[in-house]
Structure 1
Amino acid sequence: MTELQLSQRRKQVLRIVIQEYVENAQPVGSQSIAKKYDLGVSAATIRNDLAALEKAGLLTHPHTSAGRIPTDGGYRYFVANLMAHTDLPSHERHMIRHQFHQARREIDQWLRLSTAVLAKASTGAALATSPRSISNRVKHLELIGIQDTVVLLVLVLATGTLKQQLITLEQPIFQEELSRASNQLNVEIAGATAVDLPEKLEGFTGFTREVGELVLNTLLQSEEQITDRVYRHGLAQVLAEPEFTDGPQVSRIVQVFEQRTLLQEIYDDVMELSDVQVMIAGEGRFGDMQDISLVLSRYGVPDRVSGLLGVVGPMRMPYGRTVGAVRYVATLLNELMHQLYGPSR
């Protein structure tokens, strides 16, 4: 759609129609444009412009109205050629950053907060996937004697997650020996991933080796758990929009939230890109997404950890603000992930 040539005035008329329709959800006519905007031409000329934009496939009109509304092609042209890339106001950015810094230093908390923030900032529904290809790392461990033959393993992961496990021994071990084993393991395996650990554990024997194996199993389990989660927020406010008043349309947007196969395909599509992607009506690739738009971004640390973050809503979406919100939250998550996992390889 970017190759379509429009005059400056027709670009302005298209921008006005989309702006008005996004705000009011009502078809936009030539008379209302002429009254509200000083384009220096008559309503009749604007009417001709609307007809030309409709002929170009950028606008259409409901049977019951003389006004026009954007088509999916019109929205695509707008996003590619006319949209102002709007940053969130500084006070909103400051407030959002403060909320992230107040949250617990855990991926789960950050992603819950991300979806809540995006749903509020965009008036859409937000989703985020837990990071994939994640190499969780050991931060610190402690061995604490509970009873003569019962030891508590306390393991802190780089994500901030705390794992605890009881170890039953055949013979008692004094706390001094437990502390010595803890120190030895911390020196050798702090910062290690599940991939690194088997080699690092080769030099250990006995109880210390047993603890190391438990740490490895914990890392593997934490990676399995973290790859499968989708965080969601704000679906109810999207379903209140006039576009979603009938069953099929409701079903389509719920599918985006609930159908893991579709999310997998979208994830694979977006992971190839480095910036925010706007996907309107499925872009011809996802047939179940008629009348739906997604504004999506990847987040994470290249070559270490990456996830998907974005907003789902009707095509009648404030794209400039939504893109700005998604980009800002993704940038914050990138910063936080770098703190946990370090720079990319």
Structure 2
Amino acid sequence: MLSERQRKILNAIVDDYIRSAEPVGSRSISKRGDVAFSPATIRNEMSDLEELGYLEQPHTSAGRIPSHKGYRYYVDHLVKYGTLSSHELNVMKVFFAEKIHEMEQVFQQAATILSGLTNYTSIVLGPEVFSTTLKNLQIIPLDDRTAVAIFVTNTGHVENRIVQIPEGMAVSEVEKAVNILNNRLAQVPLFQLKSKLYNEIGAELSKYVNGYEELILTIENALEDHEEDRIYMSGATNMLMQPEFRDVDKVKLILDTLGEAPAILKMLDTMSEGIQVRIGSENSLAAINNCSLITATYSVDGHCLGTIGILGPTRMEYGKVISLLDYLSKDMALLLARWYK
């Protein structure tokens, strides 16, 4: 347990580092009005905080920066959730006052607003991206080489895709494969269908269906757009503006990850309802282990419909981001409640 003095000094270091992106020294902390300690006292406490794992000393600099453990303590015990500025409130009010005729516009506009107000990357998952499951799959041949694939979800949503039948595959083989797929994929969340196809079902199809590899590829292509239809993102390149990400290879890895729908879903899949904060290595993907991810869920009638997320450096304005997500998620829930009635 940290002493009150250590808490004040850690809080001051995190606040200063968030603003400056430069290691924080004892002298700059002593000049703050809310920290009434001498530079010598602050230096001693900074050394203790470093030993405890809350601070790090980059290179030979006399200043310190927060560690992931330090950020976690800050978020759990010290962060202040301020009220939104008049500009932020006005942007939100204008958004929710607009007459939006398509639900997709709500999610994309929400993502755009969040990235604009925070200068981080925003991700919005449309309704039920994790809970929508496959109810039934049909593949109906139109001629020898083409068919229509029909996907029916547990919510009653129906999607049709024109697909190619592998050359030489008999209709009976297609029917056999569809029976196996329905048996194994029924009630599987849509975002998990691709991995199930390859990791579990491919081996079974190989025993009973000739040309199953091409058929799996055909079905995968038919599913390809479904995940992306529910993911709305804005500000992916904002990472380039952060001093932590001057390393081109590091940024490329993050941007490549943000370009893959399965990776985004994996990144957000383990986040619980309400507001959640994942810092550094707490994230499920190695590519974003130098980032923080803050998410908020939005619900209607107690049913969680989707998730709003902000991805940025660990040197993130946690209080501001959490306040924005809290405000936006609640108002989105009210807005969507009108769509669902």
Shift in CA distance, 103/317, structure 1 to aligned 2, threshold 3 Å: farther
Is 1:260 matched up with 2:261? yes
Q: What is the match of residue 170 of structure 1?
A: none
**TM-score (normalizing by structure 1):** 0.66
**Do the aligned residues in 2 keep the contact of 1:103 with 1:110 (CA within 8 Å)?**
no
Q: What is the match of residue 317 of structure 1?
A: 316
Matched residues, number: 249
Shift in CA distance, 9/285, structure 1 to aligned 2, threshold 3 Å: same
**Do the aligned residues in 1 keep the contact of 2:124 with 2:233 (CA within 8 Å)?**
yes
Partners of 1:88 and 1:38 lie apart in 2 by: 22
Partners of 2:276 and 2:292 lie apart in 1 by: 10
**Do the aligned residues in 2 keep the contact of 1:130 with 1:227 (CA within 8 Å)?**
no
Partners of 1:299 and 1:100 lie apart in 2 by: 15
Tell me, what secondary structure is at the counterpart of 1:66? coil
Match of 2:104 among 108, 113, 135: 108
Residues 81-230 of structure 1 aligned to structure 2 (within 5 Å): 81-89=77-85, 92-132=88-128, 133=131, 228-230=229-231
Shift in CA distance, 80/41, structure 1 to aligned 2, threshold 3 Å: same
Is 1:291 matched up with 2:290? yes
Partners of 2:228 and 2:299 lie apart in 1 by: 13
Partners of 2:123 and 2:97 lie apart in 1 by: 20
**Per-residue deviation, 1:98:** 2.2
Q: What is the match of residue 15 of structure 1?
A: 11
Q: What is the match of residue 201 of structure 2?
A: none
**Per-residue deviation, 1:263:** 2.0
Shift in CA distance, 252/15, structure 1 to aligned 2, threshold 3 Å: farther
Is 1:326 matched up with 2:325? yes
Shift in CA distance, 92/55, structure 1 to aligned 2, threshold 3 Å: same
Tell me, what secondary structure is at the counterpart of 1:62? coil
Is 1:30 matched up with 2:26? yes
Tell me, what secondary structure is at the counterpart of 2:31? helix
Which protein is bigger by CA-based radius of gyration?
1
Partners of 2:66 and 2:97 lie apart in 1 by: 40
Partners of 1:339 and 1:305 lie apart in 2 by: 15
Q: What is the match of residue 69 of structure 2?
A: 73
Q: What is the match of residue 147 of structure 1?
A: none
Gaps in structure 1 of 5+ consecutive residues: 136-220
Tell me, what secondary structure is at the counterpart of 2:270? helix
Partners of 2:29 and 2:23 lie apart in 1 by: 11
Shift in CA distance, 20/113, structure 1 to aligned 2, threshold 3 Å: same
Partners of 1:39 and 1:129 lie apart in 2 by: 42
Match of 2:50 among 45, 48, 54: 54
**Do the aligned residues in 2 keep the contact of 1:121 with 1:322 (CA within 8 Å)?**
no
Give the counterpart letter for 1:242 in structure 2: P
Partners of 1:43 and 1:240 lie apart in 2 by: 33
Shift in CA distance, 115/14, structure 1 to aligned 2, threshold 3 Å: same
Give the counterpart letter for 1:322 in structure 2: V
Deviation digits for residues 148-169 of structure 1 (CA, Å, limit 9, x no counterpart): xxxxxxxxxxxxxxxxxxxxxx
**Per-residue deviation, 1:254:** 1.6
Partners of 1:284 and 1:236 lie apart in 2 by: 20
Partners of 1:75 and 1:14 lie apart in 2 by: 9
Tell me, what secondary structure is at the counterpart of 1:317? coil
Tell me, what secondary structure is at the counterpart of 2:229? coil
Partners of 2:303 and 2:40 lie apart in 1 by: 58
Deviation digits for residues 44-65 of structure 1 (CA, Å, limit 9, x no counterpart): 1100011011111111011131
Q: What is the match of residue 338 of structure 2?
A: 339
**Do the aligned residues in 2 keep the contact of 1:281 with 1:289 (CA within 8 Å)?**
yes
If asked which structure has higher relative contact order (CA below 8 Å, sep 6+), I would say 1
- Identity fraction in percent: 32
Q: What is the match of residue 245 of structure 1?
A: 246
Partners of 2:280 and 2:28 lie apart in 1 by: 28
**Do the aligned residues in 2 keep the contact of 1:129 with 1:309 (CA within 8 Å)?**
yes
**Per-residue deviation, 1:247:** 2.7
**Per-residue deviation, 1:38:** 5.4
**Per-residue deviation, 1:285:** 3.6
Stretch deviating more after TM superposition (301-310 or 319-328): 301-310
Partners of 2:321 and 2:43 lie apart in 1 by: 30
Partners of 1:66 and 1:37 lie apart in 2 by: 22
Partners of 2:256 and 2:17 lie apart in 1 by: 25
Give the counterpart letter for 2:125 in structure 1: T
